[in-house]
Amino acid sequence: MPASRTTGWLYKPAPEIIIPMLTFTITHQDHCRRLESYLRTLMPTSPFGYARKLIKNGAAKCNGTIVTPDTLLVNHDTVTLKESGATAGYINPTRPVLDILFEDGLIMIVNKPAGLPMHRTAECEENLVDVGQGYMIQRETSCKLYPVNRLDRGTSGAVILAKSSSSAGIYGRQVKDTGLDKLYLALVWGTPEEHGVITEPLDEKESETRYRTLLAGENCSLLAVTPISGRMHQIRRHLAAVGHPIIGDKRYSGGDIPELSGFALHSFRTSLILAEAGKLTVSAPVSDELLNLCELRGIGRDILLETLYRMV
């Protein structure tokens, strides 16, 4: 702007205000995780609605853009938080013992590790319900946890825990009536067809499992598997029946793999209808164990993570 002819005043632009930001780079541990879940993992002691408030106010961004609580994070994304004394104080470098993918007043969806049973099956044995209950006590959240659905001990991934018996009843009926629209990842021996439907009866009942091949490795394949019916050990039994057992599943001809705490089956994606907010879809990041095994068998980590993101 030119100087004024009457006063000689020269316009000077206001100095740029630099807002201090906290910056975090997403790794495979949070690949395909919802942003709200990531922030609550980052700030486990923050008040229940704190992460959602940061997102709503634009104080949390991903790759410099405005986001929502359901924004999915990808490996190498950059998450920034507007720095404040409160936010910095809530950040904890240690991840919580319970990997919570979603939580509201009625339920939690958690990422269960392979090898951890849902319930206590022996004296003093660690199990998901007890671990979750202990974490709730530590966090001073008053509730008793009830499994809504179940995963086998050797299976990892998304599973639902209700915070009361009434919530367990509500969502248990949904599981029974409509299912959860679940998608599993299975690393199996051999090379199946590109797509397949397995309809072999189980326990003298009609059963159906659908799969498609995502990636091929050395004498193995990574499958996306959808169980249409809900028989016990259905995916494991069906894949073994067609000659492609899940790697590490000793019970159904998958062999013993010392690198695995369980076997190579992961509950990756779960969809359900929330009582108040409508449809929710949650993805559970894949464990180091399974990623490392895939790499060992010739399936590269980068292409695997890219494939998973395209699926969701």
Residue 82 phi/psi, 5-degree rounding, is -65, 125
Is residue 6 over pLDDT 60? no
Average pLDDT over residues 94-121: 94
pLDDT tens for 36-68 read 999 999 999 999 899 999 999 999 999 999 999
Is residue 281 over pLDDT 50? yes
Q: How confident is the model at residue 164 (pLDDT cuts 50, 70, 90)?
A: very high
Residue 265 phi/psi, 5-degree rounding, is -130, 125
**Sequence-distant (≥ 6) Cβ neighbours of residue 124 within 8 angstroms:** none
What's this model's pTM, rounded to 2 decimal places?
0.91
Q: How confident is the model at residue 15 (pLDDT cuts 50, 70, 90)?
A: low
Q: d(Cα 155, Cα 267) in Å, to the nearest integer?
A: 7
DSSP string over 223-255: EEEEESS--TTHHHHHHHHTT-PBTT-GGGT--
What is the reported pLDDT for 2? Answer: 47
List, in sequence order, the alpha helices (H) in 62-205: 85-90, 128-138, 165-178
- Using DSSP's 3-state secondary structure scheme, residue 202 falls into strand
- Using DSSP's 3-state secondary structure scheme, residue 133 falls into helix
pLDDT tens for 114-160 read 999 998 877 668 999 999 999 999 988 888 999 999 999 999 999 99
pLDDT tens for 191-239 read 999 999 999 999 999 999 999 999 999 999 999 999 999 899 999 999 9
Average pLDDT over residues 277-296: 95
Q: d(Cα 67, Cα 69) in Å, to the nearest integer?
A: 7
pLDDT tens for 259-276 read 899 999 999 999 999 977
Residues in the chain: 312
Closest CA to 161 of 202, 101, 113, 85: 101
Q: Which tokens hold the place of 74?
A: 């990808």
Q: d(Cα 1, Cα 13) in Å, to the nearest integer?
A: 10
User: Domain 16-95 belongs to what topology?
Assistant: 3.10.290
